[in-house]
Chains A and B, each alone.
With several copies, the nearest count.
Chain A
């Protein structure tokens, strides 16, 4: 294994978020980023179910069933927090007020298309939640994902084969092997992790990278 583990990747993403940013962390792996936000820096977390200024998980005895995140896990609210209803919350998102949103992905295309809500498998129960709103709303949509699926297929693709979440919405992809920016010329490698090489990435993704 070369590259970064989940926690290291979360830490790497956290480092790229400037102080004062308003950030939404998607369900799943992106949630880990919260654990690595630099202490002493104020970064304000948004959860689309109606809270700005979300804090960490509560002490075990102090779980408040009224205070949850988008993944329906118990959270806390920091001093300076504000509650609002769903239309206001998604207005905030759709209106471009969030600086960064970190999402998981099944696939990201070289033009920034995102597929992360459905594998399109027959018989699967569709469920989109706020994924499409997040993808279309934040100023910067970052993806956090392993480069490869368990079967070794690249999640970076020329064109998504899974149903889309958003078109041309992703600006950066953080993977265990490298960070990629989405540019008009496709994926550009921003940073390599471990002993990963550009050539290796091109082989794994079957894409021309720059």
Chain B
């Protein structure tokens, strides 16, 4: 029997090595696998390269990993946010390397890794400093730059439901980078709200087929959903929403 589920988050991050490249799903906080990141901090791997759209929010999740001094290099599209003080401090102190990649090129380069594409010509960034030094070519009258795949040793992502084969569905815009990252890592680790019976995910609606997934772990379900229905009333940390306006 194939069973990709593991009992707890410590099991989910076993074996991650110093110096690894790790993709972390999420767009801001939505879809960020906070529990897996906490487990990674506990696990201790360091000198990491992190590939993620942002560079942490507030003090939890990716920000906590950065604060713990585990990250040598960030590859992302948008590190600077109103609540990215941890990254900002490290960057200004010269304690972290940064590679900025336009968001669509980031997504497509990750997809290319997963889909076995050696490189591709993208129109994004042409003529800007982010394309400096990159191979350029005019195709059918349009300028493109050559972009290479981004691969990882490990992907840590968050999905909504999964089964023991690793099939996944997501929730709303928390889907974001999960599906492409799952395809681009040697080992893909997923936290889900719920592990469901094999066969209970509609095969027409599976977003990430299990072939891309290695480990699935159930974490505390999001508190704004009950029995599959959105109920609201709390924020992403589970704190009651102030309903004042």
Residues of A within 8 A of B (CB): 19-20, 22, 42, 44, 46-53, 58, 60-68, 72, 77-87, 89-98, 113, 123, 125-133, 136-137, 163-167
Partner pick for B27 among A58, A68, A95, A136, CB 8 A cutoff: A68
Could you jot down 17 A-B contacts, CB within 8 Å?
A: A46-B211, A61-B233, A65-B30, A65-B222, A77-B172, A85-B107, A85-B207, A92-B115, A94-B122, A95-B183, A125-B79, A128-B100, A128-B103, A132-B104, A133-B124, A136-B124, A164-B128
Give the 10 A-B residue pairs with the shortest CB-CB distance, closest first.
A79-B199, A90-B104, A91-B115, A94-B116, A133-B104, A167-B127, A65-B236, A82-B206, A127-B80, A86-B107
Given known pairs A68-B27, A166-B127, A167-B143, the reply for A52 and B108 (CB within 8 Å) is no
Q: Provide the residues of chain A in CB contact with B201, threshold 8 Å.
A: 82
B33 at the binding interface (Cβ < 8 Å): no
Q: Provide the residues of chain A in CB contact with B53, threshold 8 Å.
A: 86
Q: Determine the residue in chain B with the shortest Cβ distance to A129.
A: B78
Q: In the assembly, what is the distance between CA of A65 and CA of B129, in Å?
A: 34
Q: In the assembly, what is the distance between CA of A31 and CA of B171, in Å?
A: 24
Q: In the assembly, what is the distance between CA of A166 and CA of B123, in Å?
A: 10
Q: Determine the residue in chain A with the shortest Cβ distance to B118.
A: A94
Q: Provide the residues of chain B in CB contact with A58, threshold 8 Å.
A: 232
Q: Provide the residues of chain B in CB contact with A81, threshold 8 Å.
A: 203
Contact at A22–B172, with CB atoms within 8 Å? no
B175 at the binding interface (Cβ < 8 Å): yes
Residues of B within 8 A of A (CB): 1-2, 27-31, 53, 77-81, 87-88, 91-92, 98, 100-108, 110-111, 113-117, 122-130, 143, 163-165, 167, 170-180, 183, 198-199, 201, 203-204, 206-207, 209-212, 222, 224, 230, 232-233, 235-236, 241-245
Given known pairs A86-B180, A127-B80, the reply for A61 and B243 (CB within 8 Å) is yes
B172: min CB distance to chain A, Å: 4
Contact at B2–A44, with CB atoms within 8 Å? yes
Q: Provide the residues of chain A in CB contact with B243, threshold 8 Å.
A: 60-61
Q: Determine the residue in chain A with the shortest Cβ distance to B235.
A: A65
Q: Provide the residues of chain B in CB contact with A137, threshold 8 Å.
A: 104, 116, 123-124
Q: Which of B29, B114, B201 has the most CB of A within 10 A?
A: B114
Q: In the assembly, what is the distance between CA of A165 and CA of B104, in Å?
A: 13
Q: Provide the residues of chain B in CB contact with A167, threshold 8 Å.
A: 126-128, 143
Contact at A66–B233, with CB atoms within 8 Å? no
Q: In the assembly, what is the distance between CA of A95 and CA of B104, in Å?
A: 11
Main secondary structure of the interface of B (DSSP, over half): loop
Q: Which of B167, B173, B176, B198 has the most CB of A within 10 A?
A: B173
Contact at A68–B1, with CB atoms within 8 Å? no
Contact at B115–A85, with CB atoms within 8 Å? no
Partner pick for B28 among A68, A82, A95, CB 8 A cutoff: A68
Q: In the assembly, what is the distance between CA of A144 and CA of B164, in Å?
A: 31
Q: Provide the residues of chain A in CB contact with B81, threshold 8 Å.
A: 72, 127
Q: Provide the residues of chain B in CB contact with A94, threshold 8 Å.
A: 104, 108, 115-117, 122-124
Q: Provide the residues of chain B in CB contact with A92, threshold 8 Å.
A: 115, 183, 209, 211-212
Given known pairs A22-B211, A67-B172, the reply for A97 and B183 (CB within 8 Å) is yes
Contact at B175–A83, with CB atoms within 8 Å? yes
Partner pick for B102 among A64, A68, A130, CB 8 A cutoff: A130
Q: In the assembly, what is the distance between CA of A127 and CA of B87, in Å?
A: 12
Contact at A65–B224, with CB atoms within 8 Å? yes
Contact at B108–A64, with CB atoms within 8 Å? no
Contact at B103–A50, with CB atoms within 8 Å? no
Contact at A91–B183, with CB atoms within 8 Å? yes
Assuming A49-B176, A68-B27, A128-B78, what are 14 further A-B pairs, CB within 8 angstroms?
A: A49-B30, A51-B173, A52-B211, A53-B165, A64-B230, A65-B224, A91-B111, A91-B114, A91-B115, A97-B211, A128-B101, A132-B105, A132-B130, A164-B128
